[in-house]
Copies of this chain bind each other. A is one copy, B any other.
């Protein structure tokens, strides 16, 4: 069965973006190395693509390769226009939204619009098979944690205090214990951490 991982870049004070949704300097590590994180089948990385350190590449690339389906909120879908129908990781995307798929938007893309977090994760599990379901942090991720639907929390911690912004754990407001981290990897402007949620 698939593992559901709440995964995002985060500041030291727990924000995934500034109040205006710009991640600002917490994304520096995506652009300060010489290993392309872009799709594996591209002979050359595109200009402006993600270029991380070797250390981050060695951690992130297998993590991304293991993802079968992403679950995101409508805000991220709208901000990126759904990455034009090509998920950055995995083959499928479930968008938690009360609004349907935009009319005429990339009819070929395996994007699914579901208006409830629990139903969205169930759909994502079905699509992912035995691969990982990657949940974006924020409102959707926080609700999933509250519902007991998250197996692991993965935080790429940037050495930045944002001061204000969108919270990693969104509206989640109850206590949850996790195991000690089974991943602690120091990159360049990022510390990769990964924790299993205790049941």
Contacts and interface: CB of A to CB of B under 8 A. Distances in A.
Interface of A: 12-14, 24-25, 145, 153, 155, 159-164, 167-169, 172-181, 184, 186, 188-189, 191, 193, 195
Given A163-B169, A181-B159, A186-B180, A175 B24 contact: yes
A184 B192 CA distance: 11
B180 A184 contact: no
B173 A163 contact: yes
Number of this chain's copies in the complex: 2
A161 B189 contact: no
Contacts of A14: 12-14
- Residue picked from A14, A145, A177, A191, most chain B C-beta under 10 Å: A14
Given A175-B24, A175-B162, A191 B193 contact: yes
B159 A177 contact: yes
A189 B195 CA distance: 11
Contacts of A155: 12
A18 to B, nearest CB: 8
A124 to B, nearest CB: 22
Contact of A181 (B162, B180, B186): B186
B191 A12 contact: no
Contacts of A162: 175
Given A24-B175, A184-B184, A191-B181, A13 B163 contact: no
Contact of A160 (B13, B163, B178, B189): B178
A12 B10 CA distance: 10
A12 B163 contact: no
A84 B148 CA distance: 43
Contacts of A174: 163
B163 A176 contact: yes
A161 B177 CA distance: 6
